[in-house]
Structure 1
Amino acid sequence: MTLWTAVLAAGALAYLIKLGGYLVPERILEVPWVERVVPLLTVALLSSLVVTQGFLTDGMPTVDARGAGIAVAVGLLLLRAPFLVVVALAALTAALVRLWS
Structure 2
Amino acid sequence: MTFAAILVLAAGTYAFRLVGPLLHGRVELSARVRDTLATGAVVLLVALVATAALTQSQGFAGWARPAGVLVGGVLAWRRASFVLVVVGAAATTGLLRLAGVS
TM-score, length of structure 2 as denominator length:
0.68
Counterpart AA for 1:70: V
The structure with the larger Rg is 2
Query: In proportion to residue count, which structure has more helix?
Result: 1
Please name the residue that 2:91 is paired with.
92
Describe the shift of the 1:82–1:10 C-alpha distance in structure 2 as closer, same or farther (beyond 3 A): farther
Higher relative contact order (CA 8 A, sep 6+): 2
2:91 and 2:8 mapped to 1: Cα distance?
34
Once the 2 structures are TM-superposed, how far is the Cα of residue 63 of structure 1 from its aligned partner? 3.5
2:93 and 2:9 mapped to 1: Cα distance?
32
Give the share of equivalent positions with the same residue, in percent.
32
Structure 1, 45-54 or 63-72: larger mean CA deviation: 63-72
Figure out how many residues of one structure are paired with residues of the other and give that number.
Answer: 96
The DSSP-based 3-state class of the residue aligned with 1:81 is coil
The DSSP-based 3-state class of the residue aligned with 1:30 is coil
Matched, 1:82 2:81: yes
TM-score, length of structure 1 as denominator length:
0.68
Q: Which runs of 5+ in 1 are unaligned?
A: none
